[in-house]
Amino acid sequence: MDKIKSVFGLKEKAKLIRQDIIRMIYQAGSGHPGGSLGLADIFSVLYFNVLNHNPKKPFWPERDRLILSNGHVCPVRYSAMARTGYFSLKELLTLRKLGSRLQGHPSFLDLPGVESSSGSLGQGLGVAVGMALAAKIDSKKNFVYCVISDGELNEGSSWEAFMLGAKYALDNLIVIIDRNHIQISGCTEDICPIEDLGNKIRTFNWQVFEVDGHNIKSLLSTFKKAKSLIGKPKVIIATTVLGKGVSFMENKYLWHGKAPSEEEARKALEELNLKN
């Protein structure tokens, strides 16, 4: 597919993705708006610029793989997929409906373009390590990307995967940590502190980048650098704001998994329409 190279164009796509998220979750009456909104800029950059993929051929063998470990934020992925042509925009409003392909956690059995089902946190990084290792064994040139939440770093399985990724020097693996400092019941540093996160991961022999997860220009340059480095797996720690773009949701952990009311959805869309 044709890539969007301009920062303005990618910002506009992120804005549309955020609007989709509000409409989808309001229509469903349930879902996770906070993390979804916070990842909109990253998913705009991934789907419209970074990923080597073909929405018309979702099983193309040479495609890059994208694993969404924190599957509850799937509205951001569904929107990006629809807007790149995997399915119609109209289908977005079937989120969480009985019989819909757009389940509350993504299912690779139901939706072409989803590489792995996800629900329980802490599993996605292990899946991504396995895919990256398989690609290495098969001498494939594609990259494996994995989006994980900072909260799921409470899971020991994530650190086991970090160890294995380093053992096999999986430089075809790029992990994006959504560092919004919030999980379902509060702040990560109150529940189970994970700082100094960057240095912790460096001790596991990974290359670490730290970036503003809402700065499109910085995201583009960081992904470019990460792809160019060889010899180690890479982690991008992307600092984000939960609920980004909607003032009454930003940095409020209660919006981790709460659908907006009709009035709240209206206000959220008004704010998002006014954003530059």
What is the tens place of the pLDDT at every residue in 40-89?
999 999 999 999 999 999 999 999 999 999 999 999 999 999 999 999 99
Q: Does residue 85 belong to any structural domain of this protein?
A: yes
What is the tens place of the pLDDT at every residue in 185-229?
788 888 888 999 999 999 999 999 999 999 999 999 999 999 999
Domain that holds residue 161: 7-274
Q: Residue 175 in contact with residue 237, Cβ under 8 Å?
A: no
Closest CA to 194 of 160, 156, 166: 156
The CATH number of residue 25's host domain is: 3.40.50.970
Q: Does residue 11 belong to any structural domain of this protein?
A: yes
pTM, two decimal places: 0.96
What is the tens place of the pLDDT at every residue in 152-197?
999 999 999 999 999 999 999 999 999 999 887 788 888 888 999 9
Per the structure, the count of domains in the chain is 1
Give the Å distances, CA to CA, from 6 to 22, 87, 205, 241. Answer: 25, 24, 34, 23
Q: Does residue 1 belong to any structural domain of this protein?
A: no
Q: Does residue 2 belong to any structural domain of this protein?
A: no
Q: Does residue 226 belong to any structural domain of this protein?
A: yes
